[in-house]
Structures are given as C-alpha cells and as structure tokens.
Amino acid sequence: MDFTLNEEQKMFRETIYRFAKEQIVPLCEEADLKGEFSFEIWKKMAEMGLLGLPYPEEYGGSGADFVTCCLAGEAMGHAGVDGGHTLAWGAHTYLCGADILLHGTHEQKLKYLPKIAAGEWIGCMGLTEPGCGSDAGALTTTAVRKGDRYVLNGSKTFITNAPVADVFVIFATLDKGKKHKGITCFIVEKGTPGLATGKPMHKMGCRCSTTSEVYLEDCEIPLENCLGGEYNGWNIALGGVEWDRSILLSPFLGGAMAMIDGCSRYANERYAFGRPIGDFQSIQNRIADMKVCLEVSKLAVYRVATSKDAGKSLNPLLAAVNKMYIGDRGFEISSSAVDLFGGYGYIHEYPVERGMRDSKLGQLGGGTSDIMRMIVARAMLR
C-alpha cells in the first residue's frame, strides 16, 4: 500500500493546520480550564467545512474520503486543538452524522445532514448505558411499536455532546429475547416529550466536550425516525466502528506529533548539569521511542483509511489492533512527554499536561483496550 500524500492532500492538511493554529487553538486553553464546550470554536469549524466533511454535496458536505477526514483530525490535533473539541467533532460528524449518511433514507439525510454539516444542529450517538458499555449488545433501553409511533424507555450514559445536542441517534431493543439481534436504531430530536439529558459530567480530560446521561421516558417518535430498518441496529453499531477505529483516532495522532515536537524543542532548550537535557541518552531514547510509536500508529490509521477508500470492508481484527495500539501508545507517548518536561510537565500552562489527560480516553472510549485484546485473542484462537 502506498500512503504517500498527493499535493492536494498535503495542501488540505496544511490549510486545516493553519486554520486551527490561528483561529481555534488560541481559544482552547481557556475553554479547557473552564471545562466548557465553545460554540465560537464550533461555528469556526462549521465555516471551515469540518462538520460535514464526508457527506456528499447534496447533503451539505464536501464528499471527502476517509484519508482526507483523517488528515483533518490529524491536522487539528497537531495544531494543538484540545481533545474535547476534536471528540465533539468526531461524535457529531461521524458517530451521529455518518450513521444517518450510511443508513438513512434520502428524506432523513435531507432533513438532518445539511443542518449537521452547518453546525446548526449538534449530533450525538447513544449506545452505552449505565449498566452496560463493553457488553453493548446487552442494552436494555426498549422501543415498543404503538400504531404510528415508537415509544422509547431507558437511559444512556457517557454520551458525548448530549447536553448540547439537537439530534440523538439512539440504540434500543425491540425484543430483548433476541439479544443483540433485537437492537434497532432511532433518531430522536431535541424537544421531543420524554427526552431529557443529565447534568454535564466533570471529566479528567477532553473537558471541552460535553458528556451526560440521556433519559427516555415514554418518549414517542414517529415511525419514520427508525434509522436503517428494524432489527438492524447491531449492524449499524458495528459499522460505526469503522469510523471510530480510523477517523476518530486521527486527532490522537496529531496530538502525539505536537507532543513530540514540543519535547524535541524542550530537550534543546532546557539545561541540566550544564548541558541541554537532549544530550542525555535517556532523553534521546525517550524521544526516539515516541517517534517510533507515532510512525507505527500513523501506518495503522492510514492503512484502515486507505483500504476503506478502496471500497474494502473493515477487518474487525485489524480495527481492534489499531484501536488498542493507538489508544495504548497514545497515552504512553503523552505520559512520556510529561516525564520529559519534569515538574513543568505537571503544570497546566504546558500543553503536555492537557495532552496526557486527553489521551487517556483513547484507552477507554469506543471500546477499552481490554476489549480490543479480547477481540484480537478470540480471532487468533478460533
């Protein structure tokens, strides 16, 4: 496989990098300190076309391929955009919007995607529940068909963007007896009676993305809000993994690049025992190890993106390898960066502190590293 970027891709990445550096990053530090989602940043992302990147033009997007979407995430992370706003971008454009793009009817796409692409409506996706995350197939939120409506009951937790969302893609079961095969996907709009969100959760990292519970109490939605057909929810959830284990990982790549750049500069500037700390073998090893992890992670992400662009379906084993490797190595790189900065690494003013908090999510969200190991081992031992 050839992962060399063409001129157009290089220019696109550079444009997003500059835009993010000049217009978004200056707003990120304060937003992270306050732990607030910034509508100002959101508006800028929308104007730049980032919120509808993969949707066809007729639905308000620019029809970007997987590699281009990954380049956008990588460029934002590299410029220094915080993990919260890139997570909000991922949940909105891919977890919510891409489910509608891939499984929606033409009418659903026309109704939701242009507003999602314009940032006018914010999207979220609710699969995880208070009682089950890793074992998502055991979800208990129910949907019952009554005449021309579905009635939803249950709750979701850890839902990115929920407190600010207008469009909720919700997974519920039509038949608990069928286990994961009973799962069906629905679109619920803000303001629907019976839909409520909890208080934003106070998080360790990715603090600018808002996260909360979602409550559904006798929440009635029209039949046309079923997404992708009854009993097709599990396939939709598994399809989301393709975006989750490529594009949503790309900001972590960029974040690691920013940390390695910062560490290299710091190693030249910071003196100890009369010489730059970069003269010490242990510091050199640290930087070399980070760089090796980054290069392998890049190969992993762009291998998935390139094969998706070639029309191949994702190999779940390789997707799990990707998610585990990048999740674990991303946190390792950021933790190593904090070590390299010494005491300053622990202080908020230095971006490595935020990077370490943000990167921890790579090992938890979208399936934990334990679960990825389990998927890999099961495939090997079959």
Q: Give me the residues that bind ligand FAD (CB under 6 A), please.
A: 91, 95, 124-128, 133-134, 158-160, 203, 206, 211, 361, 364-368, 370-371, 374
Where helices occur in 178-315 by DSSP H, the ranges are 233-244, 250-269, 281-309
Minimum distance, C-beta of residue 202 to ligand FAD, in the bound complex (Å): 11
For 100, 170, 235, 366, the CA distances from 183, given in Å and listed in that order, are: 16, 10, 9, 18
Minimum distance, C-beta of residue 337 to ligand FAD, in the bound complex (Å): 21
Minimum distance, C-beta of residue 96 to ligand FAD, in the bound complex (Å): 9
Minimum distance, C-beta of residue 230 to ligand FAD, in the bound complex (Å): 20
What is the DSSP pairing of strand 167-173 with strand 123-126?
Answer: parallel
Closest residue to ligand FAD using C-beta atoms:
133
Report whether 255 contacts 313 (CB < 8 A): no
CA 258 distance to own-chain centroid: 18
Spatial CA neighbour of 210 closest among 246, 261, 275, 159: 159
- Which residue has 């990707």 as its token pair? 322
Strand partners for 143: 152
User: Based on CB atoms, which residue is closest to ligand FAD, 124 or 187?
Assistant: 124
Minimum distance, C-beta of residue 363 to ligand FAD, in the bound complex (Å): 9
User: Based on CB atoms, which residue is closest to ligand FAD, 111 or 207?
Assistant: 207
For 121, 363, 365, the CA distances from 369, given in Å and listed in that order, are: 32, 5, 9
User: Based on CB atoms, which residue is closest to ligand FAD, 196 or 299?
Assistant: 196
- Rounded distance between C-alpha atoms, residue 342 and residue 192, angstroms: 51
Minimum distance, C-beta of residue 267 to ligand FAD, in the bound complex (Å): 32
User: Based on CB atoms, which residue is closest to ligand FAD, 299 or 364?
Assistant: 364
User: Based on CB atoms, which residue is closest to ligand FAD, 327 or 345?
Assistant: 327
- Rounded distance between C-alpha atoms, residue 180 and residue 184, angstroms: 9
- Which residue has 């970027």 as its token pair? 5
Q: Which helix (H) or strand (E) holds 109?
A: helix 106-117
Structure tokens at 350: 């230095």
Instruction: Indicate the residue type of 110.
Output: L
Q: At a CB cut-off of 8 Å and minimum separation 6, what does 279 contact?
A: none
Minimum distance, C-beta of residue 265 to ligand FAD, in the bound complex (Å): 30
User: Based on CB atoms, which residue is closest to ligand FAD, 261 or 370?
Assistant: 370
- Rounded distance between C-alpha atoms, residue 48 and residue 62, angstroms: 11
Minimum distance, C-beta of residue 328 to ligand FAD, in the bound complex (Å): 12
CA 267, 272, 277: angle at the middle one, nearest 5? 25
User: Based on CB atoms, which residue is closest to ligand FAD, 297 or 363?
Assistant: 363
User: Based on CB atoms, which residue is closest to ligand FAD, 1 or 380?
Assistant: 380
Minimum distance, C-beta of residue 313 to ligand FAD, in the bound complex (Å): 22
User: Based on CB atoms, which residue is closest to ligand FAD, 91 or 277?
Assistant: 91
SS3 313: coil
Rounded to a whole number of angstroms, the distance between the first and last alpha carbons of the chain is: 28
Minimum distance, C-beta of residue 99 to ligand FAD, in the bound complex (Å): 11
User: Based on CB atoms, which residue is closest to ligand FAD, 23 or 368?
Assistant: 368
